[in-house]
Homo-oligomer: A and B are copies of this chain.
Amino acid sequence: MRKPLILVTNDDGVMAPGIRALVEVADKLGDAVVVAPDKPQSGMGHAITINATLRVNKMGKQNGTHFYSTSGTPVDCVKLAVHEILKRTPDLIVSGVNHGSNASTNVIYSGTMSATIEGCMEGFPAIGFSLVNESIDADFEASKVYAEQIMKVVLQNGLQKGVCLNVNIPNLSTREIEGIKVCRQADAKWSEKFDKRKDPGGKPYYWLTGAFENQDTGEDTDIHALQHNYVSVVPVQYDLTAYNSLKNLEKIDFNAG
């Protein structure tokens, strides 16, 4: 039997330690091919490159895994991989391991999750992994253990059409982690503050800063799971239709406006 083909990408760039952790696991479970941005692309959301050209750099083979970097965004990487680089269709697309949480509404801003969602839109099983630790020397040991478990299950069972997974791993050792919890996305948000400064010429400029604030007290959320030492798994869909409010809106006579 042919080994499953696993595409690995991320948004921290091809040189990030997090992607190496994921490659290690992918290599164990199948044939891994890496197609990742040549530079960090955090916070790129679902950006694509339409008014500029894209470059693909074949970096060579490491421990049996082909590495490619591209000048594009995480979403560009998935498109390039699927349509230009891979010799056959992937059995699984994994993104990460991101250096930092993508729980709750971070999913919206995350390049890691946008690559995952793009994979899902292209019709492939796709999983995004993030570790709740932003530092460059984060410990990915527990991430590897849980990534392997979850990837195995998805390779065996597939995923529902139109659904991918957002997996977040608490910053703990494998022994300290309680297990895996399937959750909904917490309704938390960034409370932004701009740090206003003056340049040497006296003109103002801004840095975006802020704190993540959770006012969602539900016990079924990803943030709750992470706070209680669980790995959170949120099924994510790219259908953004608010079905609950379709009926309400249909009652409104827009033509009376």
Residues in A lying within 8 Å of B, measured CB to CB: 40, 42-51, 53-56, 75-76, 79-80, 82-84, 105, 107-109, 114, 117, 121-122, 148-153, 156-157, 159-160, 162-163, 166, 179-180, 182, 184-185, 187, 189, 192-194, 196-197, 203-208, 233-246, 248-250, 252-257
Contacts and interface: CB of A to CB of B under 8 A. Distances in A.
Contacts of A84: 194, 196, 206
A256 B161 CA distance: 23
Nearest to A155: B257
8 contacts: A45-B114, A50-B208, A54-B205, A54-B207, A152-B257, A182-B250, A234-B240, A236-B240
Contacts of A243: 184
A50 B45 contact: no
B157 A205 contact: no
Contact of A182 (B153, B235, B236, B246): B246
Nearest to A231: B254
